[in-house]
Amino acid sequence: MAEPVDDSTAALARALSFAIGRANRRMLAAGEGLGQGHLNALATIFRVGSIRPGDLAQREFVSAPTMTRTLRDLEDRGLVSRTDDPVDGRSILISITPEGEHEVLRRRSARADILAGLIDRLDRSDRQALEAALPALEHLGSVDLDGPI
């Protein structure tokens, strides 16, 4: 169970959520073709390798039927492929195709280019502040919500 959040933490969380959300929406402009849920699933497969659809649904916090539709669409686009699970013949594994890898890398590059353009417009002190905050932001992204830091 999460501990109560004090007012200053709540205010920081709201401000950070707003700022990250705005920057993310700007970067999503690079996302023609695939929706964010599709891209998230594809990026997870890219990162973890072959995975069962149910495990992927859990990682992405979506229902099994939602993941089934997402994977069907990704497969139709040639971005993922299905194979029989050698450990459990009743299950399948989803793997990323070379086209899928290319799409993940292309989208990451496009998002980074957009973010670089935004950062380029900042003054030196704001850029330094972002650089100083980067370790905390990286740590924030790896915090386990269900356990201690």
Percent of the chain at pLDDT exceeding 70: 91
Mean pLDDT over 93-107 rounds to: 96
> What range defines the domain where residue 114 resides?
33-140
Look up the CATH number of the domain holding residue 134: 1.10.10.10
Which structure tokens are listed for 76?
A: 């139709």
Single pTM value for the model:
0.76
pLDDT per residue as tens digits for the range 18-74: 998 888 888 776 666 788 899 999 999 999 999 999 999 999 999 999 999 999 999
Cβ pair 79, 103 in contact under 8 A:
yes
Which structure tokens are listed for 88?
A: 């459990």
Distance CA(55)–CA(43), nearest Å, equals 14
Which structure tokens are listed for 115?
A: 């973010």
Q: Which of 118, 124, 148, 90 is nearest to 25 (CA)?
A: 118
Helix axes 98-120, 36-48, angle to 10 degrees: 110
Q: Name the more confident of 2 and 74.
A: 74
**Confidence (pLDDT) at 62:** 95
Residue 109 lies in a domain: yes
Residue 65 lies in a domain: yes
Residue 4 lies in a domain: no
Residue 37 lies in a domain: yes
Q: Name the more confident of 28 and 127.
A: 127
Is residue 141 very low, low, confident or very high in pLDDT (cuts 50, 70, 90)? confident
Cβ pair 57, 63 in contact under 8 A:
yes
Residue 149 lies in a domain: no
- Name the domain count of the chain: 1
